[in-house]
Amino acid sequence: MPEDKVLKKAANAYELNWKLLTYVGGNVNHVYQYPAENGQPSRILRLSNQNWRNEKEALAELHFIEYLFDNGVSVPKIFPSKAGKLVEKVTDHYHVSVFSKAPGRIPTEEDWNEKMFINWGRIVGQMHLLTKSYIPLNETKRRDWIEEPWMDMMRHLPSEEPIARQKAREMLNWLETLPKDKKNYGLVHCDLHAHNIFATLDGTITAFDFDDCCYHWFAYDIAIILYSVILRYNRQDNKSNTLDDNVAWFLDSFLKGYQEVHSFEDWWLKAMPKLLNYRRLLDYNFLHQRYNWDTVDSERKIRWLRLKEGLKRINR
């Protein structure tokens, strides 16, 4: 956690009272909520470590979010600092940004229905459509997926993991065969699972946390979402239907919303099983980067073991 003096400086850059900030959480960033006051809505303050994302990378992310917001996509509004900046340097180690808090909540069982799935698909379709005409800032552009350090499996998977490394190498070779034209490839969210959207009671959703956005295949952007749907199903104790039925139920509504605004290429669905395996490999890769097997908590160790066992079943 950042020291109080860092938090004070971050809050001051946006004329906020640092004592009113409430820590929310975060994986690689430190996220705080600020209450509504003086006619302003509740806001989210994000402190980012320079070692994870530098200021230029953050600015490129926020420029894309602003572009989506200005074109009617349900994403958070970005608040400039009192100096008029979207990203403020706090110290040599941290920079900060402030967003409006998304309305609603992380989807619960009550929200998990066809209306929300349609809206989820529609918002992804809107983003894929708009990325085709998006022009990034000069010299401030998000990376292509192959340039993302955390996605570099051959760099992070240790030599003691020969099966994972072999599967990763095969997967990377396959990815390079996929089409990279504007119908299939562009700047995408790249992490729009169910914990990076808020839903309201009428099924409206808001997408946030674009920290992983990069240039990737549209099909993979959808595979990430489907992967989270499968994980959610597997965590349920009382299952009223099969996994295949659950996936079909979700995809039917999701694609209905998606296809209202963007075409769904035939090969995407055929490639989905491999793209899901690619996501599993990236999850496994991320665990190796973030945690030590000897000290990791039992819950993550169980997840680690399940992923390791699952990798053996990945086919070419």
Q: Where are the domains of the chain?
A: 4-100, 114-311
Query: For 73, phi and psi rounded to 5 degrees?
Result: -80, 140
No. of helices (H) and no. of strands (E), the chain: 9, 10
- Cβ 241 vs Cβ 254: under 8 Å: no
| CATH class held by domain 4-100 | alpha beta
pLDDT, greater one: 316 or 84 = 84
Environment class of residue 167 by beta-carbon count within 10 Å: exposed (0-12), middle (13-18) or buried (19+)?
buried
Local confidence band at 316 (pLDDT 50, 70, 90 cut-offs): low
- Cβ 269 vs Cβ 220: under 8 Å: no
Residue 113 tokens read as 């229905």
> DSSP state, 87?
S
Local confidence band at 287 (pLDDT 50, 70, 90 cut-offs): confident
Vertex 130 angle, CA 128 and 136, to 5°: 110
For residue 137, the SS3 value is strand
One-letter amino acid of 113: N
Mean pLDDT within 216-221: 98
CA distance 95 to 54: 8
| Confidence (pLDDT) at 181 | 96
Classify domain 114-311 by CATH architecture: Alpha-Beta Complex (3.90)
Residue 258 tokens read as 């998606």
| Confidence (pLDDT) at 305 | 87
pTM for the structure as a whole? 0.94
What mean pLDDT is reported for the chain? 94
Residue 270 has pLDDT above 60, yes or no: yes
CA distance 65 to 189: 10
pLDDT, greater one: 205 or 316 = 205
Mean pLDDT within 192-201: 96
| Confidence (pLDDT) at 71 | 98
Catalogue the E-assigned strands of the chain: 22-25, 29-34, 43-49, 78-79, 88-89, 94-100, 185-188, 197-199, 205-207, 214-217
Q: Where are the alpha helices (DSSP H) in 187-297?
A: 218-235, 243-258, 266-290
Percentage of the chain lying above the pLDDT 70 cut: 99
- Cβ 156 vs Cβ 285: under 8 Å: yes
Strands 94-100 and 78-79: antiparallel
Strands 43-49 and 22-25: unpaired
| Confidence (pLDDT) at 274 | 96
Local confidence band at 121 (pLDDT 50, 70, 90 cut-offs): very high
- Cβ 290 vs Cβ 155: under 8 Å: no
User: Looking up tokens 């674009």, which residue turns up?
Assistant: 210
